[in-house]
Chains A and B, each alone.
Chain A
């Protein structure tokens, strides 16, 4: 059966690739984002890719405006006549040196990636639970798996998010709410543009394909590309004296 999906962050990067994969197989989509013109253009792109010319709807939602979350979620729910899946790929990123030099942006990043993303999930969780469950798929990061030198601040925001998503899954899986925590490694998107490319770099569509599989199966944690699961097992188990020495 076709899903009814709300996507926050579907205009760019992995969210764009993911929305395309869902549109191509006929799922219903409602896009949330900051820029209405961008949303309209992305909706047209998705509509052109839908097999039977379905409608893609959109409305405004800004992760920096938590007071508007309630209205945004209600509007999305109305447009889809009751969503069953929510995907959140939106978030902020900057390199560690940039964040250290710009504490105002650091505050925004920590707020958006952790506090406001959690609040947004809290707003929509009730909708899904009230109708017997659904899927909540949120993009965290491998950066949240261990405190590391190049991602001290960004990683901390994602570590908090990963912990929240795990707790949510433990608490509500039995009630039908499947929480999926996506941990991408380095993906070639606008977010990582200009950064030196590490090994195992992936294209957005590779990650999107894996995430669609995880949504269908209800996988609680997914690393993409999958090799990052192994890499992070190693990193999580490195002793502190090694972590202090290496730059990774």
Chain B
């Protein structure tokens, strides 16, 4: 447990004057949205969620930073507009999407969320409110995209929404027998499909290491989609904390074996929520991990390392034995514009890790491997990386910290994560 509390208000400007951090919906898996030790009070943006301007011709929208993707989905998808990039949950705010420079299944085509952001309104450390963009204070703009909320409190976001032909998704799935086949399949799908990702069974080893299911999709065309808007179904609740260890080696192995062998329907038009947000179907799904909880780990391994790099990394994971219920693999496109933006050309692997006594050790081992391969980790999912490891994998860090120091010389804006990784 981390001591501290958030103050929320519809008036985000009013509550960001004297706090070190603003958090959105708290879906970062690590300590990015938690107060640093000694900082008790932080601001919460979720009630500041108004759409300020929307141009139905161009699709450019300006909204307060607390607008959630869930709201955006409900308000704009029925009219043919959607976020150009979506992470794997709808319960994130626009401010959070900028701060983590989130990516999605279309990264190889559309890049990160920040690419589509045209301007930001920030409250910087000295209390001033500053508008920044690619032409106005570009240093602040690019440091804020992917900057984990450390350059100032994000108050408003202007983003170019994407026009979609229907609110439905056309999806194809294919079973893939091992990691080599998987990487070839991802590469092959990327050429023809705007959205791709893979689920891999992290407990399989040897010849079937990295077996899994490949998903490729695109927005459905009007002639193949149902006419109705996809129904909004309430989530399946997890009413209370499940016992610790329920999600363990044996249950995950059983799930993975069944999921891999399920007769996956090869191609069909599906609900966009099932495609983008499979885990949001279960409300409070984190409770499944019990009171010790879980974290995630996500890294990208550069394309130059090829298949062997990914195999070496999966070797570390499977030897670690900390069962990952969720393991997602995705090929990344070009590096984002944000100075600390996570993706770069290569293969991204994301894992769920139950918190256990040996989780720190596993993260250290994975980080050693990532450093050796020339990759990096995703701060939105990090709770346990050591500062020396992060520095070794992040050549852009000095530039980021320099801009941060320019706008915040007294180090007023900080999170538990920034203090852990950067010392301030």
Contact = CB atoms under 8 A, between A and B. Distances in A.
A48 B10 contact: no
Interface in A3-25: 11-13, 16, 20, 24
Contact of B56 (A11, A16, A53): A53
A41 B52 contact: yes
Interface string A221-242: 0000000000000000000000
A51 B74 CA distance: 11
A11 B48 CA distance: 11
A213 to B, nearest CB: 14
Contacts of B61: 48
A19 to B, nearest CB: 11
B7 A41 contact: no
A245 to B, nearest CB: 28
Interface residues of A, number: 18
A48 B52 CA distance: 8
B9 A49 contact: no
Contacts of A16: 10
Interface residues of B, number: 17
A193 B53 contact: no
B50 A42 contact: yes
A44 interface: yes
A11 B56 CA distance: 23
Contacts of A194: 5, 7
B414 interface: no
Given A16-B10, A193-B7, A194-B7, A51 B51 contact: no
Interface in B35-53: 47, 50-53
Given A24-B74, A49-B75, A44 B7 contact: no
Interface in B20-73: 47, 50-54, 56, 61
B90 interface: no
Contact of A189 (B5, B47, B52, B75): B47
B79 interface: yes
B78 interface: yes
B103 interface: no
- Name which of A44, A45, A48 has the most chain B CB atoms within 10 A of its CB: A48
B8 interface: yes
B8 A190 contact: yes
A48 B7 contact: no
Contacts of A41: 50, 52
A51 B10 contact: no
A16 B8 CA distance: 15
A207 to B, nearest CB: 14
Q: Give the interface SS of chain A, mostly helix, strand, loop or mixed.
A: helix
B78 A45 contact: no
B50 A45 contact: yes
Given A24-B74, A24-B75, A49 B8 contact: no
B47 A45 contact: no
Interface string B74-88: 110011000000000
Contacts of B54: 48
B369 to A, nearest CB: 42
A42 B75 CA distance: 15
Contacts of A12: 10
Contacts of B79: 51
A206 to B, nearest CB: 10
Interface in A44-66: 44-45, 48-49, 51, 53
Nearest to B55: A48
Contacts of A44: 50-53
Contact of B51 (A48, A190, A193): A48
Contacts of B75: 20, 24, 48-49
B220 to A, nearest CB: 21
B49 to A, nearest CB: 8
Contacts of B9: 190, 193
Contacts of B51: 44-45, 48-49
A11 B78 contact: no
A101 to B, nearest CB: 21
Contacts of A42: 50
Contacts of B78: 51
Contacts of B52: 41, 44-45
A246 to B, nearest CB: 24
Contacts of A45: 50-52
A48 B64 CA distance: 13
Nearest to A11: B10
A53 B8 CA distance: 30
Contact of A190 (B47, B53, B56): B47
A194 B43 CA distance: 12
A12 B53 CA distance: 18
A12 B74 CA distance: 19
A234 B78 CA distance: 42
Interface string B88-102: 000000000000000
A143 to B, nearest CB: 22
A44 B47 CA distance: 17
A93 to B, nearest CB: 14
A183 to B, nearest CB: 22
A193 B74 CA distance: 25
A41 B9 CA distance: 16
Contacts of B10: 11-13, 16, 190
A45 B63 CA distance: 9
Nearest to A16: B10
A99 B74 CA distance: 39
13 contacts: A13-B10, A24-B75, A41-B52, A44-B50, A45-B50, A45-B51, A45-B52, A48-B51, A48-B53, A49-B51, A190-B10, A193-B8, A194-B7
Given A24-B75, A48-B75, A51-B79, 5 more contacts: A24-B74, A48-B51, A48-B54, A49-B51, A189-B47
Interface of B: 5, 7-10, 47, 50-54, 56, 61, 74-75, 78-79
**Top 9 A-B pairs ranked by shortest CB distance?**
A45-B50, A48-B54, A48-B51, A49-B75, A45-B51, A12-B10, A190-B9, A193-B8, A190-B10
